[in-house]
Structures are given as structure tokens and as C-alpha cells.
A and B are shown apart, each in its own frame.
Chain A
Amino acid sequence: NAGVMQNPRHLVRRRGQEARLRCSPMKGHSHVYWYRQLPEEGLKFMVYLQKENIIDESGMPKERFSAEFPKEGPSILRIQQVVRGDSAAYFCASSPGGRIGYTFGSGTRLTVV
């Protein structure tokens, strides 16, 4: 039973490009959460999704960031027109429901040059 799979592990983008981060939840998990960890900081909640629905996006920047969790396929976190301040580690977690059984992926480290 594979854990939460995130890809790519490392992503380098030039300023102004788009970044797409993918997250495949654990088998049987229908809840996906995205967190961001900036250097020297803890993980900060961004968005919570269930299949085809955004439940809570209160932690997501209002512009350039979007997330989806389609009926088929992985959850995608999309960052348009990236800037240097977007450089961070982005972690995805999944759960069967609620905060019990919350499992994190290994993260995607985004570097904007």
C-alpha cells in the first residue's frame, strides 16, 4: 500500500513560469490537504479538498494559486507566474476523513530562479 505520492520531488522554475505540483493520496483516502513550509518556518495550511470539491481554501493566497482534486487522477496545486517568494517545500497530506490518519507525502521542493 503506497503512501502519499508527490511529484516531482524537486521543481525549478524561472520567475513568471507556471508550477504544477501533483499529489496522489493513499488508497482509500478521499481527503487531501496542501501545506507549505517556508524556510525556517513551520508548515502552513493552504487548502483542503475532497473529490471534485474545495472544502477550505482559507490558507491559499488569493492570486496565482489554485488547487483541484478531480474525480480521476491526482490532486494538483498550480502556481501561476511564480515569484521568488514562492520558493518553499510543498507538502500534501491525505486522510480517510478528518485529522485521524493524516499521512504526509515527501513533499515537492520548489525553487524559483
Chain B
Amino acid sequence: DQQVKQNSPSLSVQEGRISILNCDYTNSMFDYFLWYKKYPAEGPTFLISISSIKDKNEDGRFTVFLNKSAKHLSLHIVPSQPGDSAVYFCAASEGHNLFFGTGTRLTVIP
């Protein structure tokens, strides 16, 4: 049973435009959400997180939005750069575990 879902396996965006990656979850007990970025042959790298008591967290070009009523979060990258091309994983936490989505492959076209 997939508690965290990323329904778009891939996304292509022109350099300089906004990338929006989406994530849905089913467990209302999740209290912390994270985004990880993963390059081929490397481990996931932490990008940005948000607590369930907030609805927005911003760090430079990256902003995460949380809509608890819809059980939905999104990652906005603006402006997108070719170096952002990677697989992005959404993760949700309950206690010490992280539950991951299946990832979205972002391609930023120069």
C-alpha cells in the first residue's frame, strides 16, 4: 500500500521556467514532509522540508507547499536550471520512518 504517491513519473521544463512537482499522501498522521533529489548512481540528497504545522517553506529557488486538507504537497523550482535535472522523491515521516514516493524525473531543457 503506497502511502505517498507521485503520479507523474516524468516532467520536462524549459530552462528559466517554473518546475512544479506534486505529491499526494494518504496517512493523516504524517507530521513532517521532505523532498530529496537523486542523481544516477548516487544516494538521495536532502533538498527541503516542511512541518505539518506550516503551509509553505522557502529556500532560495525551492519552495514547498503543503495542503493538509487535500493531503497534497508540491515542490516549486524557479527558475529551473539544467543542473536541476534529476529524480525528485517526496517523503513523509511518522516517527522515525520515512515513506517515499516513487519519484518524478525532472528534465530541464537548456
Chain A residues near B100: list those with CB within 8 A: 35, 42-44
Query: Does B89 lie within 8 Å of A56, measured CB to CB?
Result: no
Residue of B32, B93, B97, B103 near A56 (CB, 8 A) is B97
Count contacts on A: residues with CB < 8 A to the other chain: 26
Cross-chain pair count, CB within 8 angstroms: 57
Q: Are B43 and A42 within 8 A (Cβ)? A: no
Structural contact, A40 and B44, CB atoms closer than 8 A: no
Q: Which residues of A contact B34 (CB under 8 A)?
A: 99, 102
A28 on the interface (CB 8 Å rule)?
Answer: no
Interchain CA distance A103-B102 in the complex, whole Å = 19
Q: In the complex, which residues 97-113 of chain A have their Cβ closer than 8 Å to any Cβ of chain B?
A: 98-99, 102-107
Interface majority SS (helix, strand, loop, mixed), chain B: strand
The answer to whether B99 has its CB under 8 Å from any CB of chain A is yes
Taking a contact as CB atoms under 8 Å apart, the answer to whether B89 and A42 are in contact is yes
Contact (Cβ within 8 A) A99 B101 = no
Between-chain CB contacts (< 8 Å), 11 pairs: A33-B96, A41-B102, A42-B101, A42-B103, A43-B89, A45-B99, A48-B96, A98-B96, A99-B34, A106-B43, A107-B42
B residues whose Cβ falls under 8 Å from a Cβ of A: 2, 4, 6, 32, 34, 36, 41-46, 89, 93, 96-103
Residues of chain A having any CB pair with chain B under 8 Å? 4, 6, 9, 31, 33, 35, 40-45, 48, 55-56, 59, 91, 93, 98-99, 102-107
